[in-house]
A and B are shown apart, each in its own frame.
Chain A
Amino acid sequence: MIRRTASLLVLLLVAAWTPAAQPPVERQRVFARLPDWTGIWMVDDGLWNKTGLRNGFDPQPGVTFLLLKDLPLSAAGQKRAQAAREAQKAKPTKECGFYFPFVMESPWPFEVLSTPEQTVFIFGGREIRHVYTDGRGHLPTDEIWPTPWGDSTGHWEGDTLVIETIAVDPQLLPLNADAHFAERIRKIGRDRLEDVLTIVDPVNLTRPFTVTLPYKRVTTVDRLIHGDCMQNDRNTVVNGQESVAPPTP
């Protein structure tokens, strides 16, 4: 009897801990209602060279990130941007991948996998965004810290994925780590997705900033083949300057 009661108690506890755990049939119904975003997608912002051949980190002249184009920086935000620029001058930095929110406007193709519990964005540079949609909230304040991709939760409003992201490590962006990012991602055509992204940072921005990031379906490849920075990194920093190392014999 005691063992049975204990087992029941454990079951109840597990059920209580599992966020929005659903019976299998209901889970299948939720699964079936999710929109179909299968395929490979890539940002279509005019920034990255369309041939895919050039160094993807060499934007076309006169074109900049949509994320930065009209960013309404406050005086404090300008000061942060200036400091970041000086830091970059003093010490050239190399990164391996794109952080949020820039990952949403990176030259990497990406796939989107949706389940009833979460939607996962997987980028060609091996960046991964988990967006939990099962009702779990953000991590408690004493268990969360800024990371390059932050903590994302979301829910579906029809076929629109609504995401809230917090705790983003701003890196070189002139934003505070407590900035809020709200996104509404939806399919707007057979081969088009869009992300309406709003950034709220009352310290560094003069007002909430909203930008629409367009994506198009990639048709030249049928799978992601990931990049990395380990295999043959020839971009060395010599005397504070970026350079290209000779090939290894």
Chain B
Amino acid sequence: MFETPPRRPLLAVALLMACAPCLAHHSAALWDSTKTVMLHGTVKQFQWTNPHCFIQLLVPVEAASAGDQREQEWSIEMASPFQVLSGGWKPGTLKPGDKIEVTVHPARDGTPAADFISAVSADGRALGKKSPQ
């Protein structure tokens, strides 16, 4: 009834793994999980929205000359509001003007977008809870 086991089952599973994440909202291929970047900036907006929360962070760009105060706006994607709430965050955890430090995986395409890993406030306090379960 069942076929003889294939010679290369590991290859098959590897192929399947590539497909699995896309069964959700979008695949993990969007992010470069081999790179971890720390962003220091000022919160412009905290989007407490489905399907993802976003931190809009204004990050100073390296000054080309003295007095140059340019900023780049990053879109930092988190999980859904319910998942983020489960992790100890609240809609009011971040407010415009807050200075924070966020650790992220950047987007593969080089745009200022990233996948959230963790964040601390200006005074070094971890935002959210470490282990909500």
Interface residue ranges, A against B (CB under 8 Å): 42, 44, 50-59, 61, 64-65, 68-78, 81-82, 84-85, 88, 92-99, 102, 106-107, 109, 124, 171-174, 202, 205-207, 216, 218-221, 224-235, 241-244, 246-247
Q: Is the CB of B19 within 8 A of A231?
A: no
Task: State whether the Cβ of B122 lies closer than 8 Å to any Cβ in chain A.
Answer: no
When distances are taken between beta carbons in the complex, the residues of chain B under 8 Å from A234 are 52, 54, 75, 77
Q: Can you name 10 A-B pairs with beta carbons within 8 Å?
A: A50-B132, A50-B133, A53-B116, A74-B2, A74-B5, A82-B15, A202-B3, A206-B6, A227-B82, A244-B77
Please measure, in the bound complex, the distance between the C-alpha atom of A246 and the C-alpha atom of B72, giving whole angstroms.
12
Task: State whether the Cβ of B33 lies closer than 8 Å to any Cβ in chain A.
Answer: yes
Please measure, in the bound complex, the distance between the C-alpha atom of A99 and the C-alpha atom of B115, giving whole angstroms.
24
Which chain B residue shows the least CB distance to A221? B86
Q: Is the CB of A51 within 8 A of B129?
A: yes
Residues 10-32 of B at the A interface (beta carbon under 8 Å) = 11-13, 15-31
Task: State whether the Cβ of B121 lies closer than 8 Å to any Cβ in chain A.
Answer: no
- Give me the 4 closest cross-chain CB pairs, A-B, nearest first: A52-B87, A232-B49, A244-B113, A53-B87
Q: Is the CB of B25 within 8 A of A107?
A: no
Please measure, in the bound complex, the distance between the C-alpha atom of A165 and the C-alpha atom of B76, giving whole angstroms.
39
Which chain A residue shows the least CB distance to B131? A50
The number of chain B residues with a CB under 8 A from chain A is 67
When distances are taken between beta carbons in the complex, the residues of chain B under 8 Å from A77 are 6, 12
Task: State whether the Cβ of B38 lies closer than 8 Å to any Cβ in chain A.
Answer: no
With A242-B29, A247-B75 as contacts: A51 and B130 at CB distance below 8 Å: yes
Of the residues B2, B21, B81, contact of A227 by C-beta under 8 Å:
B81
Please measure, in the bound complex, the distance between the C-alpha atom of A73 and the C-alpha atom of B73, giving whole angstroms.
46
Which chain B residue shows the least CB distance to A238? B109
Please measure, in the bound complex, the distance between the C-alpha atom of A122 and the C-alpha atom of B44, giving whole angstroms.
35
Q: Is the CB of A174 within 8 A of B16?
A: yes
Q: Is the CB of B52 within 8 A of A55?
A: yes
When distances are taken between beta carbons in the complex, the residues of chain A under 8 Å from B18 are 85, 88
When distances are taken between beta carbons in the complex, the residues of chain A under 8 Å from B13 are 64, 68-71, 73
Main secondary structure of the interface of B (DSSP, over half): mixed
Taking the closest CB of chain A, its distance from the CB of B15, in whole angstroms, is 4
Of the residues B1, B6, B26, B129, contact of A94 by C-beta under 8 Å:
B26
Q: Is the CB of B51 within 8 A of A172?
A: no
With A68-B17, A93-B22, A224-B82 as contacts: A59 and B28 at CB distance below 8 Å: yes
Which chain B residue shows the least CB distance to A124? B82
Q: Is the CB of A81 within 8 A of B24?
A: no
Which chain A residue shows the least CB distance to B16? A81
Which chain A residue shows the least CB distance to B44? A247
Q: Is the CB of B86 within 8 A of A64?
A: no
Of the residues A50, A124, A221, A243, contact of B109 by C-beta under 8 Å:
A243
When distances are taken between beta carbons in the complex, the residues of chain A under 8 Å from B6 are 73-75, 77-78, 206
Interface string of B77-105 (1 = CB under 8 A from A): 11111111111110000000000000001
Of the residues B49, B79, B82, contact of A226 by C-beta under 8 Å:
B82
With A54-B115, A72-B5, A124-B82 as contacts: A231 and B12 at CB distance below 8 Å: no
Taking the closest CB of chain A, its distance from the CB of B79, in whole angstroms, is 5
Q: Is the CB of A56 within 8 A of B23?
A: no
Please measure, in the bound complex, the distance between the C-alpha atom of A216 and the C-alpha atom of B131, giving whole angstroms.
14
